[in-house]
Structure 1
């Protein structure tokens, strides 16, 4: 992809203003996200590049698992381009590396799937079967891994950070991971980072 962009065969997407950066692909292990401007030249170059990759590497591109997603592009053009590429037309939101690729990360709705994932991971655990130390390890591993991963990509609004913290504290409270106070209350003494 890098060679195709440098040779002006494929046009990536320009991000930023005066000091813009051209993004053509993101890769992690066997997941690849190809990003470019809407043009038939890009579609043909992408198809040729992927077929060439298959021939040179001996690996097979799963076109039946691949999707073409457009932002502000009409459906008929996407459908035609997807048929040329031999893939299906996808839509936003979609998942890439387990993270939702969708609208604005500054909106609380964007973070809803991540908070739901945290809640679902915690709902299956029964704290009465875990020691106090086991409870703390569970809380720290489950409730910090997913948000840290997501926050390394997107900046969350303060309201959502509070929502994740409330999940963390609520689970700790239900597990009894605190110090008993007179009057039946509990004081939580855990570090959140």
Structure 2
């Protein structure tokens, strides 16, 4: 499959095959491979389909590996069923509609509906029947899992695993999925607590929504993810959590109101001598003066140093989630 990967990348670079452009990024997504499964993504046009057919034919000649078009399907997103059916004649595949099953998981389905989880539940149940403990009821099997794995609350475990994706979003900077999420949800130059654009529904928005769940059990975002400042280049002074367990804009809202550069970085406000403030109007009244004094006392021990700012997990002994 590596040969096909190279062929698709080259075709994309030469505009022979036009992939999907990720918003606010230079990434174009044209294919996803896993083992011997392949998913091709591109603009809906006849030339794209013809060129994909040619690429696959060349790959077959060079490697003696052939795509089974009888088992392949084409999905048109935002096009009519008639247009989809007409387009598949180029590839010789079957036209289909969302949702689809990819690697055993439903794609394009509303996963907020219980019925869309049924195929996965059925798959788990079929696997459980293979157990030697198949005479146990489902509840008995769950009790067995709990005792063997030490799993307490499955809901708590699920929330913890979902929060793990927050950690990966902030630390796995080179991964493709992370770049796609950043582009789709426009996370560039946003506070670290900003995880998703609410107008885009889907799985990632549900993962971001777990913030409400962790607050119920007494945790805040800053208890899970916090910025550790080195050079101060990648941490927003007011909007990121880097001192205490909350953003400075929430601790000192009156000062944030008169700040002229609300997305300023830590390095813009802290230097070797006095803090570098940029106020819309001087904080002359007693209340603002007291707030400013408290803020300056909070940051007076902060010394910037060479190195990149990084994300840490305060509740973990080693700082890693």
| 1:56 to partner: Cα distance | 0.6
State how far apart, in whole Å, the 2-side matches of 1:116 and 1:85 are: 34
Could you tell me which residue of structure 2 aligns to residue 87 of structure 1? Answer: 93
Is the aligned partner of 1:116 residue 2:116? no
> How far 1:139 sits from its partner (Å)?
8.4
Equivalences for 1:16-95 in 2 at 5 Å? 16=23, 18-95=24-101
Per the alignment, residue 189 of structure 1 pairs with none
1:109, distance to aligned residue in structure 2 (A): 5.0
Following superposition, the deviation at residue 103 of structure 1 comes to: 4.0
Q: Deviations over 1:108-146 (max 9, x none)?
A: 45863476347735874416998x866634786xx88xx
| Residue number among 13, 17, 28 corresponding to 1:10 in the alignment | 17
Q: 1:73 to 1:133 in 2, by over 3 A?
A: closer
- State the 1:74 CA deviation: 1.2
Worse-matched range after superposition: 34-43 or 119-128? 119-128
CA contact (8 A) 2:74 2:93 kept: yes
Q: Distance in 1 between matches of 2:65 and 2:54?
A: 15
User: How far apart are 1:83 and its partner, in Å?
Assistant: 1.4
CA contact (8 A) 1:95 1:101 kept: yes
- Aligned 8 A contact 1:103 1:110 in 2: no
Distance 1:11 1:109, change over 3 A: farther
- Structure having the larger proportion of residues in strand: 1
8 A contact 2:19–2:30 mirrored in 1: yes
Q: State the secondary structure of the residue aligned to 2:76.
A: coil
Partners of 2:145 and 2:80 in 1: CA distance: 52
Q: 1:136 aligns with which of 143, 147, 172?
A: 147
Q: Over alpha carbons, which structure has the higher Rg?
A: 2
Label 1:123 to 1:53 Cα distance change in 2 as closer, same or farther (>3 A): closer
Q: In 2, are the aligned partners of 1:102 and 1:110 still within 8 Å (CA)?
A: no
On the 8 A contact 2:18/2:42 being kept in 1, the answer is yes
CA distance in structure 2 between the partners assigned to 1:7 and 1:89 by the alignment: 28
Query: What is the CA distance between 1:61 and its match in structure 2?
Result: 0.8
After TM superposition, give the deviation of residue 81 of structure 1 in Å: 1.6
Equivalent in the alignment of 1:186:
none
CA RMSD in angstroms comes to: 3.9
**Gaps in structure 1 of 5+ consecutive residues:** 163-193
Aligned counterparts of 1:11 and 1:111: Cα–Cα separation in 2: 32
State the TM-score, normalized to the length of structure 2. 0.40
**What is the total number of aligned residue pairs between the two structures?**
154
Q: Residues 120, 35 of structure 1: CA spacing in aligned structure 2 closer, same or farther, 3 A cutoff?
A: same
Shift of 1:93: 0.6
Q: 2:106 aligns with which of 78, 91, 100?
A: 100
8 Å CA contact 2:30, 2:42 repeated in 1: yes
Deviation at 1:3, TM superposition (A): 0.8
